[in-house]
Structure 1
Amino acid sequence: MGAAFLAGGLLTATPAVAANLLTNPGFEAGSLSGWSCSGGTGSVVTSPVRAGSGALAGAATASDNARCAQTVTVRPSTAYALTAWVRGNYVHLGVNGGAATWTPSASAYTKLTVSFTTGASQTSAQVYLHGWYGQGTYHADDVSLDGPGGGNDTQAPTVPGNPRVTGVSATSVSLAWNAASDNVGVTGYDVIREGGTTTSVTGTTATVTGLSPDTRYIFTVRAKDAAGNTSPVSIAVVATTAQGGGGGDRFIQAAPYLYLGWGNPPSATEVMRSTGVRWYTMAFILAQNGCNPAWDSQRPLLGGIDQSTIQAIRAAGGDVVPSIGGWSGNKLGPNCATPEALAGAYQKVIDAYDLNAIDVDIENTDEFENAAVQDRVLTALKIVKQNNPGLKTILTFPTYISGPSSWGNRLIERAHALGADIDNFTIMPFNFDGHADMYAATVTSTVALKDKLRSVFGWSDAEAYAHVGISGMNGSSDVGEITTAQTWTRIRDWANANDLGRLAFWSVNRDGPNWEFTRITAGFTG
């Protein structure tokens, strides 16, 4: 696999098209620039966001509905579309003196849309968002007023500079480029895949997904401004995706857990910028109404905060692996009656996000200590791996200090007997006796896992370690064991020295505000 530049990309101008006319539409400036909010009720927050690094928070009170507005120049007798993603109670979106819409309750980001046509002599329009009196804070993100600009701005942005490939997998390519400039302001970029789709982003990075393994692709980038002017396309950049399964490429992943269903989760992209981490293990996908996957058994795969967070992570050059299962909750393994049904549930998750990897966190008596469910999980993973070339599969399970339990040994032995072709066996070396030396305990249990894999699969030490992962717990474990940042650094360095395949910890939610463990984990190179 590799990447190279193709000099002499297309340099012809592109006609102006409709574009977002709003300033700071995704609040990525980190301020309310372009917006005016009543009574000082508006602010920009980093969580919860739909995409990017910021979102609007409107603190509605008993006497103020937290109205935030922006006025733009428009053309007379012209159709426009106004959209926004909102969450909260009684959130309104509209045009001053014109059309409006609202939602009574949105627990996750929900899209509102308003269409309107300007008057015969109208040259400006004020768009607004507001909550309702006494209903508390609402959030809004990615507001768009789509249509032709009304001013005299006919100057296109400059060409984005230095397009480059920053990463490839079997099914995706990550790109970055230098920002373009504009006489008024650049509002976004289009990444154009030759002969394929266009990916639109607001920043200077993007991850294009849905690609085929071991395939050559050509990309160009163009900038756009609020008036609908677009730059010439950049020089082209060429990338070749990684080989799929069986290609011999090592699977290496530094992926701390991020749990959007717990407390006040941090901004994934803010943590990425602060620490350099690129992968997240997203928790937890459980069963809803039988054999149907949903986040925490409640939130749908598409259309909510989970999907928007994944999109933001990928736009920032990262990726995710969903964690299916866990210690508690209603799990897919016991609820799906056959391996084929369970594979179908896994496939829904894979298709929803065009995944490169999935993790099944198999714990407790309902899955881990259940022979029938163990075999069902392994067979289902074998099916989805056969149906999705290049997909990587992970099993995460508990351990003793001495190594896998009898149930852990069975899981490994059955993975071999069933030909499940698992890419990584990740143990959770914590919750031992409450007084463990966490470095020594982690190393001892991991070496024992390596020895078991070597014995069962006939691998060398190096081959076995390449299939081993560690998922620790930062700070205090459930039984009071303490893993300090210094200890976690020693564990990471030992994992690097032995070329392990994966490093994770529970969790980024518990790591703020300095993200010390996340930063250490980002230094895992396998």
Structure 2
Amino acid sequence: MSRRLTLLVSAAALALIGTPAIAATPGAVSADFAQTSVWGGGYQGQYTVTNQSNHAISSWKVEFDLPAGTTVSSSWDATETVSGNHYTFTNKSYNGAVAAGATAAFGFVAGGSALPANCLLNGATCAGVVDTTPPSAPSNLKAGTVTTTGVALSWTGSTDNIGVTGYDVYRGTTKALTITGTSATVTGLAPSTPYTFTVKAHDLAGNQSAASNAITVTTAAGSGSGSTWPLKVAPYVDMGSWPTPVLTDTANASGLQNFTLAFVTGNGCKASWFNAYDPTTGWDRTDIDALRAQGGDVTISFGGEAGTELSGSCTDQTQIQQQYQAIITAYATSRLDFDIEGAAVVDHTSVDRRNAVLAKLQAANPGLQISYTLPVMPDGLTSDGTYIVQSAASHGVNVSLVNVMAMDYGQHDGIDMGVKAQQAAQATHDQLKVIYPSKTDAQLWGMVGVTPMLGVNDDSSTFSLANASSLATYANGKHLGELAFWEVTRDRNACNGSLTNCTNVTQQPYDFSKRFEAFTG
């Protein structure tokens, strides 16, 4: 028998099996229990979350106790955790959102005869509470990172008699964002323009608080090209490392505040964090919000050497755009990076498909910045890398940054890796001048990013601490768009061993980060 099969019984039969443990309150969100089947020594139960309020909910959590002698042996359509005789069931990714007037359900099999007791839904009684009390107003609204097209905001959260479920961020009188955390980045703004922001909280019943304090922030001046990349030093963080890197800890220890998060890959027409987590649900968003609250920010990077980028695994442009858009929304981001290497570089069909989608994505998200991270040799981008940028230009994609991977050249000619990184930057600048003849020299340098691999590279060449210092000095002189490196966890570990985890050069933790920090743009 399928676990998801709900048995249809008459009212009389249901009375024999068991009655609902609670009675829902009209106008509230409630969780109603019923036994759907009973046998000697056990039963099957179901909770139905019913939203009779005027406000959609984005998640739910049902808790209850079972007396000694009765235990849950299996469950479905919820994630189960147990502490003693206390059971907690939280929604799955596919059934957490419950619109006004809609329902969601989960079920379980219990061994024993006792029914659930002390039921709580999202911390309140499962019978539901008709709530007319609004949350307190958010406070201490302040701005963090300010770019030409975006402002990072943070605030102190509200309190509520039942519980705050989210915040509405207003730009003037226009609602710009609705989120669950206490920080957000408002994007799509114009350079050199003042904007006034406030925040209001809302609760489960849809009650909205008074506005927070208002702040007025002026966006940074633009270069006129629309291609200013705001994160000057943003090294890659391998989010697939275990345990998952804590961005705020990394920022506090390294001195760097901005990071490029690697990598979102494609599994058919679904995006995935390294084939493990769903980015459209905002995995690790809490850590990103905490980083933003202390003045930092992130770029979401797609692809990578070991993964297939979404435009390579899916041929449906509509679905690709929907996935990109869902990730932009989930992380409130205005920057996407596409690390295209290996077989993906020579797949011109997927390159053109991606650029067609990105042009539509930028049209739908004014201010969205796109960077391409591409293989390079000291004499510049490969022919396939050049094709990617030319394709972007022909499709109308506004590429803000061409970030070259200054690593693994396979050359052992006595020229140090710092010099080769500078040569690659100059050559890439000259190639961009051919693709973008109307841009000024300063604008072209602002489009160039450089990303070396710290310490020993895969080809046994070495990018040293001295190379890092010289590259930072060079980048300041040329006013490059960005410096990055692969990868922060290796810099933290400062060890000898596998290149996955170690730099294999003599250093202290974060020595490379501290040298890159000298680049100010």
Q: What's the TM-score once normalised by structure 2's chain length? A: 0.62
What displacement does 1:385 show?
A: 1.7
| Equivalent position amino acid for 2:87 in 1 | A
Q: Displacement of 1:417 after TM fit? A: 3.4
**Which residue identity does 1:323 align to in structure 2?**
S
Q: Which amino acid aligns with 1:343?
A: Q
Per the alignment, residue 510 of structure 2 pairs with 515
Instruction: Kindly indicate whether the alpha-carbon contact (under 8 Å) linking 2:222 and 2:228 is maintained by their aligned counterparts in 1.
Output: no
Moved more, 231-240 or 319-328: 231-240
Within 5 Å, give how 1:47-446 maps onto structure 2.
92=81, 100-101=87-88, 164-169=142-147, 172-175=150-153, 193=170, 195=173, 196=175, 206-209=183-186, 212-213=189-190, 216-219=194-197, 236-241=214-219, 248=226, 250-253=228-231, 254-288=233-267, 290-303=268-281, 305-337=283-315, 339-364=317-342, 366-433=343-410, 435=412, 436-446=415-425
Conserved 8 A contact 1:256-1:521 = no
Q: C-alpha offsets along residues 245-294 of structure 1, whole Å, 9 cap, x if unaligned?
A: 96746223221111221233431011222334232111111112x12211
Is contact 1:385-1:391 (8 Å) kept?
Answer: yes
Q: 1:373 to 1:317 in 2, by over 3 A?
A: same
Alignment size in residue pairs: 389
Amino acid at match of 1:282: L
Are the structure 2 counterparts of residues 393 and 200 from structure 1 closer, same or farther at C-alpha, using a change threshold of 3 Å? closer
Q: Relative contact order, CA 8 A, sep 6+: which one is greater?
A: 1
Q: Which residue of 2 aligns with 1:451?
A: 430
Q: Which amino acid counterpart does residue 433 of structure 1 have in structure 2?
A: G
Unaligned runs of 5+ in 2: 1-59, 64-78, 98-121, 126-135, 158-165, 202-208, 494-508
Shift of 1:507: 0.9
Deviations 1:211-233 (A, max 9, x none): 6546654346899xxxxxxx998
Q: Give the 3 Å change call, closer, same or farther, for CA 509–168 of structure 1 in structure 2.
A: same
Structure 1 unaligned regions, length at least 5 = 1-80, 85-89, 112-143, 148-156, 181-188, 224-230
Shift in CA distance, 381/521, structure 1 to aligned 2, threshold 3 Å: farther
Query: For residues 430 and 397 of structure 2, what CA distance do their matches in structure 1 show?
Result: 19
Alpha carbons of structure 1 residues 93 and 361: separation in structure 2 relative to 1, 3 Å? same
Contact 2:181–2:286 under 8 Å retained in 1? no
Q: Which residue number corresponds to residue 41 of structure 1?
A: none
Residue 190 (structure 1) shift: 8.4
Q: Provide the residue aligned with 2:459 in structure 1.
A: 479
Rounded to whole Å, the distance in 2 between the matches of 1:501 and 1:487 is 19
For 1:388 and 1:351, locate their aligned partners in 2 and report how far apart those are by CA, in whole Å: 10
Of 278-287 and 301-310, deviating more is 301-310
1:490 aligns with 2:477: no
Q: Normalising by structure 1, report the TM-score.
A: 0.61
Structure 1 position 297, deviation (Å): 2.8
CA displacement 1:113-168 (0-9 Å, x = unmatched): xxxxxxxxxxxxxxxxxxxxxxxxxxxxxxx9689xxxxxxxxx9x977x653332
Q: 1:172 to 1:410 in 2, by over 3 A?
A: closer
Secondary structure of 1:165 counterpart:
strand
User: For 1:433 and 1:329, how far apart are their aligned partners in 2?
Assistant: 22
Answer yes or no: is 1:464 the counterpart of 2:430.
no
CA distance in 2, matches of 1:217, 1:93: 48
3-state DSSP of counterpart to 1:250: coil
- Counterparts of 1:208 and 1:441 in 2: how far apart (Å)? 37
* Structure 2 SS opposite 1:423: strand
SS at match of 1:511: helix
Computed over aligned residues only, the root mean square deviation of the Cα atoms, in angstroms, reads 4.6
Local SS of the residue matching 1:363: coil
